[in-house]
Structure 1
Amino acid sequence: MSKSVLCALELNGDATDRKVLTEAARMAELDGAQLDVVNVLPDFGESWVSGFFEEHHHERAIKEANDRLQTLCKEVLGEDRNAKVRHLVATGKAYQEILKVADKAGSDLIVIGAHKPELTDYLLGPNAARVIRHSSCSVYVVR
């Protein structure tokens, strides 16, 4: 029985996020668990790449990602269900941040999407594979 379900979304605009969110919400509903949704932004840190961005770029990116999470959750889950969802935006390597958020939230289950395989690629995406490999809780992969 899960007390907390973490749903990791890419927010890439395709139908996969809707499918992953729907499945995560269904699983949380089955156990009466808290549903958390997370999106991870890349971290440019102190690298030379960060010099190409304005100082407020990161804060704006976090706000935009949070707005997109809110909008997607409202569309898929409805206003009432969305009001109970915790929306989280992290910065860093996707798999590391997903695992950190799951640990902090006390998640019993992580729901994550797998990228669509092509003819030459029948493996999970690298982030999903790493989450599965390193997670201390169960991971449900949605295809």
Structure 2
Amino acid sequence: MSKSVLCALELSDKTVDAKVLREAARLADLDQAQLDVVNVLPDFGESWVSGFFEDHHHDRAVKETAEHLSKMCEEALGAERNAKVRHVVATGKAYQEILKVADKAGTDLIVIGAHKPELSDYLLGPNAARVIRHSTCSVYVVR
């Protein structure tokens, strides 16, 4: 039985993200588990790239992403279900932050999308593959 399900979304393809989110909600509802939804923003703070952004850029990006995440959840799951979802916006390398959020939340199951396969990815995106490889809990991949 799962007590906590973490759904990792890229917010790049609304149709794919909605499918992954609905599956994560279905799995959480089976066990009456908490549903957390996470999106990870890239971290430009440690590289020369950060010099091109104003100081408030990151805060604005987090705020806008959180709003987008909540809106997507409401559209895919409905307002009542969305009110019970914990929305998380993290910053860093996607797979590392997904695993950190899962660990901190006591996640029993991570739900992640496979995304469109490319030859170099060999049917799984690089972040999904890393989450699967390094996770200490079960990972459910939505195709």
TM bucket (normalised to shorter chain) is: over 0.9
How far off is 1:13 after superposition? 3.2
The CA deviation string for residues 30-84 of structure 1, in whole angstroms up to 9 with x for no partner, is 0000000000000012311000001100000000110010000000111111000
Task: Name the residue aligned to 1:91.
Answer: 91
Q: Percent identity?
A: 80
Paired AA for residue 95 in structure 2: Y
Alignment TM-score, normalising by the size of structure 2: 0.96
101-110 vs 113-122, which moves further = 113-122
Q: How far, CA to CA, are the matches of 1:118 and 1:135 in structure 2?
A: 23
12-21 vs 71-80, which moves further = 12-21
Alignment TM-score, normalising by the size of structure 1: 0.96
- RMSD of aligned C-alpha atoms? 1.2
Q: How far, CA to CA, are the matches of 2:47 and 2:121 in structure 1?
A: 31
Task: Name the residue aligned to 1:123.
Answer: 123
Task: Name the residue aligned to 1:78.
Answer: 78
How far off is 1:122 after superposition? 3.3
Which residues in structure 2 correspond to 1:96-111 (within 5 Å)? 96-111=96-111
Q: How far, CA to CA, are the matches of 2:37 and 2:10 in structure 1?
A: 10
Q: How far, CA to CA, are the matches of 2:122 and 2:46 in structure 1?
A: 35
Task: Name the residue aligned to 1:53.
Answer: 53
Paired AA for residue 135 in structure 2: S
Task: Name the residue aligned to 1:11.
Answer: 11
- Report SS of the residue matched to 2:46: coil
CA contact (8 A) 2:40 2:90 kept: yes
Q: How far, CA to CA, are the matches of 1:66 and 1:128 in structure 2?
A: 21
How far off is 1:94 after superposition? 0.1
The CA deviation string for residues 77-130 of structure 1, in whole angstroms up to 9 with x for no partner, is 111110000000000000000000000000000000012114675331110000
Structure 1 unaligned segments of length 5 or more: list them. none
Structure 2 unaligned segments of length 5 or more: list them. none
Paired AA for residue 50 in structure 2: S
Distance 1:42 1:120, change over 3 A: closer
